[in-house]
Amino acid sequence: MVNERCELLKNPPNRVIDGQHVRLPLRGDLLSYRHRSGSRDSVGTERRERGRLTRPIVRSGRGRPRSRYVVPHLRHPLEAPSLRGYRTIRAVPKMAPQKPLDVVGLGYCCTDELLLLTEIPPPEGRAIIRRRERHGGGMVATAMVAVARLGGHAGFMSAIGDDDRGGWIQEEFQRYGVDTSRSVIRPGARSHQTVVLVDGSTGARSFLSDRGDVTDIVAEELDRDYITGSAILHLSDASPAALLAARWAKEAGKAVCFDGTHFHPSLLPLLPLVDYLIVSRFFASELASHDAGQGTGRAAARFAGESSGSQLMESPAIAGDVPEVHGEALLQIARQLRSHGPKVVVVTEGEHGSWCASDEGDSHTPSFPIEAVDTTGAGDVFHGAFLFARAQGWDLRRSLLLAAATAALKCRALGGRAGIPTLAEALALTGEPLH
């Protein structure tokens, strides 16, 4: 995915210095290094293909010995035996991904530590842990995994710590085939973690968020060509970096999608740049409350970091916090949101399906009944499947149908990603043909 030439010296080669940014060596990186074998310098080229190492291929001739190392698969740290004990000190600019990307996401990523409980206990209550698993998390991050799982080409940009969690996050993206070559590694930073409590009887969830100390990716760390090289940009916040990325995408004639879990007035400047606005019923309820002069509620405030709690806590709206909107009333809010600029607005309502307002007319897409094990990530997967379909040129009706089926099938398994179906599985549920 990336072609870089770096000089390596002593100390572990677990990061590449690319300008002012430090990140892990990634798939496709081309690294040159000094190799010392025993008491004599030796020169060679090592290439890792599907986990197998072959060498040497090329010798450099006279002068200081140099070798090159190609990394087609992400490792943290690099596992090549002859590279142990070296570190990167210099790099040249990155090359474009080998395949055009359908969707690029910019946002937050974390590990999800899932605890499947007999039930989520009340205060002073007790429950039994039936199962404990680790999965990747993050709204846009999981959406990009869904794009890749369905057969699309997805890229993801974020800031990640160089701790064990960060290495695990990167490796999981690699397993799913999501390109993370433009993500940034923060040396010495602790990556984000969310503990997800899953009610074993209903699939309902509660979240405990450990934000870590990784600072968000900033505008200066974005790669414009990478962003504008994809068909669609997917966002979940209105940070300066997100606003700049959206402007670049619009100037290049590309589409922008936004995932709205909770509403905050700071999102309003982004909406004119958005083509696909897909929000939860919580977002819609909070927007209606805000427009009525009643505020957005405590859940939205916590999500935006205005009160105690994580800036990106994905908690459900608190009962009684704001008047909740349901059913066809959500369609009216979708129409209202279109006045801010998006061409397509979708409000999701979980097991009750989704409501869509667009130039093609208003519609309701029902959900697919399924015995849910865990609903974590279902909304994120809905976004990813919808964007995959739109990137392939599918019409709106079929795109929403695929999104509903993919999100439903995801709920078969614990975690936000493990249950994501293949395209064939999702289409089998919809009854739609492939073409």
Digit-coded pLDDT (tens) for 396-433: 999 999 999 999 999 999 888 999 999 999 999 998 87
- Please check whether residues 256 and 112 belong to one and the same domain: yes
Task: Single out the residue in 90, 116, 136 at which a domain terminates.
Answer: 90
Domain assignment present for residue 416? The answer is yes
Domain assignment present for residue 98? The answer is no
Task: Single out the residue in 24, 56, 90 at which a domain terminates.
Answer: 90
Nearest to 202 by CA among 361, 365, 414, 374: 374
Query: Is residue 81 pLDDT above 60, yes or no?
Result: no
- Please check whether residues 315 and 409 belong to one and the same domain: yes
Q: What is the per-residue pLDDT across 366-391, written as a single tens digit (0 to 9) for each?
A: 999 988 888 889 999 999 999 999 99
Q: What is the per-residue pLDDT across 187-202, written as a single tens digit (0 to 9) for each?
A: 999 999 999 898 988 8
Residues 6+ apart with CB under 8 A from 292: none
Q: Determine the structural domain holding residue 29 and report its residue range.
A: 7-90
- Please check whether residues 295 and 342 belong to one and the same domain: yes
Cα–Cα distance, 144 to 175 (Å, whole number) = 13
Cα–Cα distance, 212 to 70 (Å, whole number) = 32
- DSSP symbols for 47-95: EEETTEEE-------SSS--EEEEESS--SS---GGGTTEEEEE--PPP
Which CATH number belongs to the domain containing residue 361 in this structure? 3.40.1190.20
Domain assignment present for residue 236? The answer is yes
- DSSP symbols for 258-287: EEESS--GGGTTTGGG-SEEEEEHHHHHHH
- Using alpha carbons only, how large is the chain's radius of gyration in Å? 23
Domain assignment present for residue 1? The answer is no
Domain count, the chain: 2
What pLDDT does 141 receive? Answer: 97
Count other C-beta atoms under 10 Å from residue 337's C-beta. Answer: 23
- Please check whether residues 112 and 230 belong to one and the same domain: yes
Q: What is the per-residue pLDDT across 228-284, written as a single tens digit (0 to 9) for each?
A: 999 999 999 999 999 999 999 999 999 999 999 999 888 999 999 999 999 999 999
Domain assignment present for residue 168? The answer is yes
As given in the structure block, the two tokens for residue 93 are 């600019």
Query: Is residue 51 pLDDT above 60, yes or no?
Result: no
Domain assignment present for residue 435? The answer is no
As given in the structure block, the two tokens for residue 365 are 């897409």
CA angle 48–26–185, rounded 5-degree value: 150
Domain assignment present for residue 2? The answer is no
- Please check whether residues 181 and 308 belong to one and the same domain: yes
Q: Are strands 86-90 and 205-210 parallel, antiparallel or unpaired?
A: unpaired
- Please check whether residues 20 and 121 belong to one and the same domain: no
What pLDDT does 45 receive? Answer: 34
Residue with tokens 């392939």: 392
DSSP state of 191: P
- Please check whether residues 323 and 199 belong to one and the same domain: yes
- Please check whether residues 67 and 34 belong to one and the same domain: yes
Nearest-10 Cα torsion for 133, 138, 140, 143: 10
What pLDDT does 290 receive? Answer: 81
Nearest-10 Cα torsion for 251, 253, 347, 395: 180
Query: Is residue 309 pLDDT above 90, yes or no?
Result: no
- Please check whether residues 80 and 111 belong to one and the same domain: no
What pLDDT does 323 receive? Answer: 77
What pLDDT does 301 receive? Answer: 55
As given in the structure block, the two tokens for residue 145 are 């995994």
- Please check whether residues 128 and 80 belong to one and the same domain: no
- Please check whether residues 57 and 128 belong to one and the same domain: no
CB 43 within 8 A of CB 56: yes
- DSSP symbols for 103-155: EEEES--EEEEEEEESS---TT----EEEEEEEEE-HHHHHHHHHHHTT--EE
Query: Is residue 79 pLDDT above 60, yes or no?
Result: no
Domain assignment present for residue 95? The answer is no
Distances in Å between the Cα of 202 and the Cα atoms of 119, 178, 211, 259, 281 are 8, 31, 27, 25, 19
Task: Single out the residue in 57, 90, 123 at which a domain terminates.
Answer: 90
CB 226 within 8 A of CB 202: no
Residues 6+ apart with CB under 8 A from 396: 344, 356, 358, 360, 363
As given in the structure block, the two tokens for residue 300 are 């939205």
The residue among 198 and 102 whose pLDDT is bigger is: 102
Query: Is residue 69 pLDDT above 60, yes or no?
Result: no
- Please check whether residues 289 and 325 belong to one and the same domain: yes
What pLDDT does 298 receive? Answer: 55
